[in-house]
Amino acid sequence: MTTQHSTVSEVMTRDVVTVRPDTPFKEITSVLSSHGISAVPVADARGAPMGLVSEADLLRKQAEQPAGGQAAAPGWPREKAKARAENAAGLMTTPVVTAHADWTVAQAAREMDRHRVKRLLVVDETDRITGIVSRSDLLHVYLRPDEEIREEIRADVLQGMLRLGGDEVQVQVHDGVVTLRGEVEKRSTAQIAERLAGGVEGVVTIRPMIDYAIDDRTAEDHRQPGIEATGPRRRPL
C-alpha cells in the first residue's frame, strides 16, 4: 500500500473562460464580473496561453487617472502602457506560468511560490489550456479530516513502508498537527518516519517524540560500555 498524493487534475477548475488578444477592455471587465473570477487567461486561436489579465491589470487605468486636479503619480513604463491599453493584448501579464494536470499539488505549490504568482494555467501536451489552479485550490488538502490523516500515516507509512508494528509508534492528529510517540531501534528509522509522515497530505506539522537506542549515523549505541541500559534515549529529531 503506497501513499497517494492529490494531483492538479483533482483540484483545478476545468471550465476555463478565456479571452482573445483583441478582446476589448470593457468586455474583459464584463467577463470577470459575470463569471465571478479575478483573472482571465488570454489564449491564441488554438487555445494556447499568451498571458493573463487580472483585476489588478484593469485597475491600472483607474490608478493613472488624475485625482482632485492632481496628476497621477509616476509609474513604470509597463504600468503606464497597461493604463492606456484598450484590449487584452495590452493589458495582459506575460509570461504566463503553467502546470500540468498530472503534477502533484505539492509540485504546483512550489512552482506558484517560486514565481510569486496566485494561479497557474494548466496545459496539455500540445500546450492548450485545460484548466486553471489557484492558491485556494491547493489549500483544500488541509481540509482533510484528522482521522483520515492518522490512518494513512499508521497504515501506509508506519506499517506499509517501514514495517513497524502497531505498538512501536503511535500516531495522534489534532487540527492537522501530527504527534509521533513510540520507540524504535535506530535513529534513522525515527527520522524516516518523521519525514514520510510530514509528506502526507493535510499534515500541518510534525511533533516527533520517538525514542531510539542506536544512533546509526555513527553506528554507536547511546548506551556507554559498562553501564547497564535503563531504556532508550529520547532525542529531538
101 and 66 co-located in one domain: yes
| 198-217 b/e (C-beta count within 10 Å ≥ 16 → b) | bebbbbeebebbbbbbbeee
Tell me the residue range of the domain where 217 lies. Answer: 144-234
**Residue 2 located in a structural domain:** no
Task: Residue 170: give its domain's CATH number.
Answer: 3.30.1340.30
24 and 135 co-located in one domain: yes
Give the Cα separation of 237 and 234 in Å (integer).
9
| 26-63 b/e (C-beta count within 10 Å ≥ 16 → b) | eebeebbeeeebebbbbbeeebbbbbbbbeebbebbee
83, 118, 141 — which closes off a domain? 141
Q: Is the peptide bond before 236 cis (omega within 30 degrees of 0)?
A: no
pLDDT score for 225: 42
98 and 185 co-located in one domain: no
Residue 161 identity:
M
CB within 8 A of 96, min separation 6: which ones?
41, 49, 50, 51, 52, 121
Q: Phi/psi class of residue 171: alpha, beta or left (left: φ > 0; alpha: ψ in -120 to 50)?
A: beta
Q: Mean pLDDT, to the nearest integer, of 176-203?
A: 94
106 and 163 co-located in one domain: no
95 and 108 co-located in one domain: yes
Number of H helices, E strands in the chain: 9, 10
65 and 150 co-located in one domain: no
134 and 161 co-located in one domain: no
Number of structural domains the chain divides into: 2
Pick the residue with more confidence: 160 or 64? 160
pLDDT score for 36: 94
Query: 87 near 96, Cβ under 8 Å?
Result: no
105 and 68 co-located in one domain: yes
Q: Mean pLDDT, to the nearest integer, of 152-173?
A: 92
58 and 117 co-located in one domain: yes
Residue 180 identity:
L
Q: Which three cell numbers stand for residue 123?
A: 496545459
Which of 78-92, 134-148, 204-218 shows the lowest per-residue confidence on average (mean pLDDT)? 78-92
**Residue 1 located in a structural domain:** no
**Residue 3 located in a structural domain:** no
Q: How confident is the model at residue 189 (pLDDT cuts 50, 70, 90)?
A: very high
Q: How confident is the model at residue 65 (pLDDT cuts 50, 70, 90)?
A: low
91, 125, 141 — which closes off a domain? 141
pLDDT tens for each residue of 3-57? 567 899 999 999 999 999 999 999 999 999 999 999 999 999 999 999 999 999 9
87 and 19 co-located in one domain: yes
pLDDT at 124 over 90: yes
Q: Which three cell numbers stand for residue 51?
A: 498571458
106 and 172 co-located in one domain: no
**Residue 83 located in a structural domain:** yes
117 and 34 co-located in one domain: yes
> pTM of the predicted model, to two decimals?
0.68
**Residue 19 located in a structural domain:** yes
pLDDT at 58 over 80: yes
3-state secondary structure of 78: helix
